[in-house]
A and B are shown apart, each in its own frame.
Chain A
Amino acid sequence: MHSLTLLLPWTATLPAGALIKAIGAPSVPPGGWTSATFAKDGERLVKAIYRAFKATTRQVQPTVQRMAQGLFRGQMEEMFALWAGAPRFRAAQDDLDATASLMMAALEKVIAESQDDAIKSLIPPVQAVVEEAYSKVGIMLGGHGRVDWTHHTDKISKDIARRITRLDDTTRAYVRDQITKGIAERLTVTELTKRLREKMPQWSANRAFTVARTETTNAWTAGSVASFQECKTLTHVSVIGCEAREPRSPQYRGESTCNIQDVPVQDANLLEFHPNHTGCMVPSQFQAVAVTRADLVTDPEAEAAPNPDAHLTDEQRNALRKLDLITNSRGNVDLTANGGFREWVMDAIDIDAKEIASYGYTATLPIDRCLVKLGNEAVNTDTVRAFIRDPKLANTAAHRAAKTHLPVIAKDKDNGYYIVDGHARLLAARLRGEKDVKVTLVSTFKVKGERVNKAVLDQLKGQPEMKAAWNSIPASLRYHAHPDLKITLQSKPGSHYNYHNRELVIGTDWGCRDLMLIHEFGHHFHFELDLCKHFKMANEPAEVFKKVQQRVKNKLKTSTFYSAVVNDIKNTPGFESFNDNNERQRYDMTAYTDTAAAASEGAFGFGHSKNYWKTSTYAGPMEFMAHVMEATSGQFPILDHFLPRLKRYGAKLVKRYNAWL
């Protein structure tokens, strides 16, 4: 054993159980971790995971560092040999760029050729960290901690080993810089080699240290994420231990991933970290409902029985999991205790009853078991489950809606109801620090949604077209209005329309006042949900932006943009009668072109003034969101036609915002 330890130093670790005991990890609560047990013992759990992370990575890091340093030196020496045997470097010395490129090509060649062997030698220590992380974190969360081939640790380790061996941009820039300087000073190849060789020991040691620390940390993260995602009660993870929040590091929901808080566990494997990452991922939120210990453990042997849901996508599984939590099957939630909430849920679920009926899924069942109301029909959760499971229905609008709007609620026997829904998450975000928000069923959504809806309609008295516009916004978005939302109608001929501090100001003399109401409510919506802070990073808007930009890319000249767009619209089937002297049609067109302006923050398109885009960091995202709201209302045919994804994006907003917060 001793000699083996010398040969393979990363094996010299305590058995997982002994180490977990030594670092003071709390025992797994009976029934597994929940929000209540996490509130009590979470600090110890987090500290224990962090200690295990430090203990494991520190043990393996020196080995990886030594191997990496040896590898880098070998690669550089091979590069020098190639330089020495290539007289064309000297011949090309008058062309500085060409010579530098040839020399760099030699380095790339060396690295490409040496990579396979280097990767093979680095896999064992890296894999040891991945498996240790999986095992230790898994045991601390209540799993069995056994690693088998299904966990793909070899693949994960290979990817990480490949990152260690590859030439990163910083190194590439460093070597190129040295070469360029050397050539500019008219050094010969021998002199340049000598200079680099002198600088190499310190440089390769620094690089090896950084790479080893980063990649052993990444190896631990990959292993622990596998365990986090197997823990059925864990909902969110956070990153701790980063020394600072690097602004230029990889982003998630528009913020740096350093020390990021409360990322949904299903997204944990999507987080990327900057090259000097030192943080550790830890659990930060659990569900309120306790599940049985058997549920917590994903035992490959126990799962030998055929799984009826094996063919389902992750999205479908998540939807079913959410549904489980609002039924009596696990959490024993009594939804009949307050009909208000149930009704709100029903109202909020925008499922087209006819569409579902056409698939034969509607049925009338006792109301006390009903969660979803479809028009005048009622179905129970089993029906919804069957609906979600049906692969034939995947990607139909109703199917997406069913998955999007299912709320998660749970009852804690000591503390009352926890509603783990978008609204509660919003409150949690506002309260900062509260991981679960306790809300009573009476004082939340039913009251909020309906009262605000009525209050808004009251303020729109005498404005039937504005009332219709308000009602055209999907209820699930409209109900996010703040109870203090005020609508000020002004009778002035000028351009009176804006949103400020929960007040919509609309000029009643303008022919497009109803359309403007939708736009300004869009501003209220994104301010209330704090959407724009997360906006720039989110993939979906980025893709929409790209589409917008592609569509108008060829019409960038300001002087011709307007007429180009008008001609484009007139030449599009269905819009031949477009007339830009028609106020409403022009407004619709401007919503389209202003979306382009928002996407490019004023670089092209038209709508708002050029300097408006400079008034706020979020001016572009804010206007984009307001146009998304217009698209969801169905009142903007031109906008819908030319940017169809906006509407779909709007429909996903609530779901996305649930995931963000």
Chain B
Amino acid sequence: MTTNHKKRATSWDEEEALRKTYAERFGEEFPFFFYDPEGRTAATLMRVALRDGVPFQDQTPPGVVP
């Protein structure tokens, strides 16, 4: 196991709850693989989406494969 839990700001349980809320709110799962130019975590992006009421839009630039 190489998981570095100390650096996780959000626990898995919290993230799971966020994923569930996100899926209920927007009708689709939050992606597991995505590209965010600012390098934000999935939890951060889900919180932003839920706060703003706008689902996450993956804006992977052409040629980049996450």
Which residues of A does B touch, CB under 8 Å? 465, 492-501, 507, 509-514, 520, 523, 558-559, 561-562, 581, 583-584, 590, 594, 606-612, 615-616, 619, 622-623, 626
The chain A residue with its CB closest to the CB of B8 is A493
Question: What are 11 inter-chain pairs, A to B, with CB distance below 8 A?
Answer: A493-B41, A494-B41, A495-B36, A495-B41, A511-B2, A559-B27, A561-B29, A583-B3, A609-B33, A610-B28, A619-B65
Task: Write out the residue numbers on chain A whose beta carbons fall within 8 Å of the beta carbon of B34.
Answer: 495, 608-609, 612
Q: Are A501 and B29 in contact (CB under 8 A)?
A: no
Q: Are A494 and B40 in contact (CB under 8 A)?
A: yes
Contacts A498-B66, A523-B65; is A558 near B29 (CB within 8 Å)? Answer: yes
Q: Are A609 and B31 in contact (CB under 8 A)?
A: yes
- Across the interface, A584 reaches (CB within 8 A) one of B3, B56, B60, B62, namely B3
Q: How far is the CB of A531 from chain B (nearest CB, A)?
A: 13
**Apart from A495-B42, A499-B65, A523-B65, what 17 extra A-B contacts exist at CB < 8 Å?**
A495-B36, A497-B66, A498-B64, A500-B64, A510-B4, A561-B29, A594-B33, A607-B33, A608-B32, A609-B34, A610-B28, A612-B31, A612-B66, A615-B58, A615-B60, A623-B65, A626-B65
B52 within 8 A of A: no
Q: Are A622 and B65 in contact (CB under 8 A)?
A: yes
Task: Write out the residue numbers on chain A whose beta carbons fall within 8 Å of the beta carbon of B38.
Answer: 494
Q: Mark B1-26, 1 if CB is under 8 A from A, else 0.
A: 11110011100110010000001000
Q: How far is the CA of A283 from the CA of B7 in the complex (A)?
A: 62
Task: Write out the residue numbers on chain A whose beta carbons fall within 8 Å of the beta carbon of B60.
Answer: 498, 612, 615
Q: How far is the CA of A492 from the CA of B42 in the complex (A)?
A: 13
Task: Write out the residue numbers on chain B whose beta carbons fall within 8 Å of the beta carbon of A626.
Answer: 65
Contacts A494-B41, A495-B40; is A583 near B65 (CB within 8 Å)? Answer: no
Q: Are A493 and B12 in contact (CB under 8 A)?
A: no
Task: Write out the residue numbers on chain B whose beta carbons fall within 8 Å of the beta carbon of A494.
Answer: 36, 38-41, 44
Interface of B: prevailing SS: loop
Q: Are A606 and B32 in contact (CB under 8 A)?
A: yes
Q: Are A581 and B16 in contact (CB under 8 A)?
A: yes
Q: Are B39 and A496 in contact (CB under 8 A)?
A: yes
Q: How far is the CA of A523 from the CA of B40 in the complex (A)?
A: 23
- Across the interface, A511 reaches (CB within 8 A) one of B3, B32, B65, namely B3
Q: Are A608 and B62 in contact (CB under 8 A)?
A: no
The interface size of chain B toward A, counting residues with CB under 8 Å, comes to 36
Q: How far is the CA of A383 from the CA of B66 in the complex (A)?
A: 46
Q: Are A465 and B40 in contact (CB under 8 A)?
A: no
- Across the interface, B2 reaches (CB within 8 A) one of A514, A609, A622, namely A514
Q: How far is the CB of A130 from chain B (nearest CB, A)?
A: 48
The chain A residue with its CB closest to the CB of B39 is A494
Task: Write out the residue numbers on chain A whose beta carbons fall within 8 Å of the beta carbon of B41.
Answer: 493-495
Q: Are A608 and B66 in contact (CB under 8 A)?
A: yes
Q: Are B63 and A501 in contact (CB under 8 A)?
A: yes
Q: How far is the CA of A472 from the CA of B8 in the complex (A)?
A: 28
Q: How far is the CB of A501 from chain B (nearest CB, A)?
A: 7
Nearest first, the 9 A-B pairs at minimum CB distance are: A511-B3, A494-B39, A609-B58, A609-B31, A500-B64, A581-B12, A498-B66, A608-B33, A523-B65
Task: Write out the residue numbers on chain A whose beta carbons fall within 8 Å of the beta carbon of B12.
Answer: 581, 583
Q: How far is the CB of B42 from chain A (nearest CB, A)?
A: 7
Q: Are A500 and B65 in contact (CB under 8 A)?
A: yes
Q: How far is the CA of A619 from the CA of B63 in the complex (A)?
A: 10
Task: Write out the residue numbers on chain B whose beta carbons fall within 8 Å of the beta carbon of A609.
Answer: 31, 33-34, 56, 58
Q: How far is the CA of A514 from the CA of B1 in the complex (A)?
A: 11
Q: How far is the CA of A584 from the CA of B1 in the complex (A)?
A: 8
Contacts A495-B40, A511-B3, A612-B60; is A590 near B33 (CB within 8 Å)? Answer: yes
- Across the interface, A608 reaches (CB within 8 A) one of B13, B28, B31, B63, namely B31
Q: Are A492 and B39 in contact (CB under 8 A)?
A: yes
Q: Are B63 and A500 in contact (CB under 8 A)?
A: yes
Q: How far is the CA of A608 from the CA of B56 in the complex (A)?
A: 12
Task: Write out the residue numbers on chain B whose beta carbons fall within 8 Å of the beta carbon of A562.
Answer: 29
Q: How far is the CB of B22 from chain A (nearest CB, A)?
A: 12
Q: Are B39 and A581 in contact (CB under 8 A)?
A: no
Task: Write out the residue numbers on chain A whose beta carbons fall within 8 Å of the beta carbon of B27.
Answer: 558-559
Q: Are A594 and B32 in contact (CB under 8 A)?
A: yes
Task: Write out the residue numbers on chain A whose beta carbons fall within 8 Å of the beta carbon of B4.
Answer: 509-511
Task: Write out the residue numbers on chain A whose beta carbons fall within 8 Å of the beta carbon of B28.
Answer: 558, 610
Most buried by A among B2, B23, B57: B2
Q: How far is the CB of A283 from chain B (nearest CB, A)?
A: 38
The chain B residue with its CB closest to the CB of A519 is B33
Q: How far is the CB of A513 from chain B (nearest CB, A)?
A: 7
Most buried by A among B2, B8, B41, B66: B66
Q: How far is the CA of A642 from the CA of B43 in the complex (A)?
A: 29
Q: How far is the CB of B36 from chain A (nearest CB, A)?
A: 6
The chain A residue with its CB closest to the CB of B61 is A500
Q: How far is the CA of A514 from the CA of B44 in the complex (A)?
A: 24
The chain A residue with its CB closest to the CB of B27 is A558
Q: Are A498 and B65 in contact (CB under 8 A)?
A: yes
Q: How far is the CA of A608 from the CA of B36 in the complex (A)?
A: 12
Most buried by A among B13, B32, B35, B41: B32
Q: How far is the CA of A523 from the CA of B60 in the complex (A)?
A: 15
Task: Write out the residue numbers on chain A whose beta carbons fall within 8 Å of the beta carbon of B13.
Answer: 581
Q: Are B58 and A495 in contact (CB under 8 A)?
A: no
Task: Write out the residue numbers on chain A whose beta carbons fall within 8 Å of the beta carbon of B33.
Answer: 495, 590, 594, 607-609, 612
Q: How far is the CB of A384 from chain B (nearest CB, A)?
A: 39
Task: Write out the residue numbers on chain B whose beta carbons fall within 8 Å of the beta carbon of A559.
Answer: 23, 27
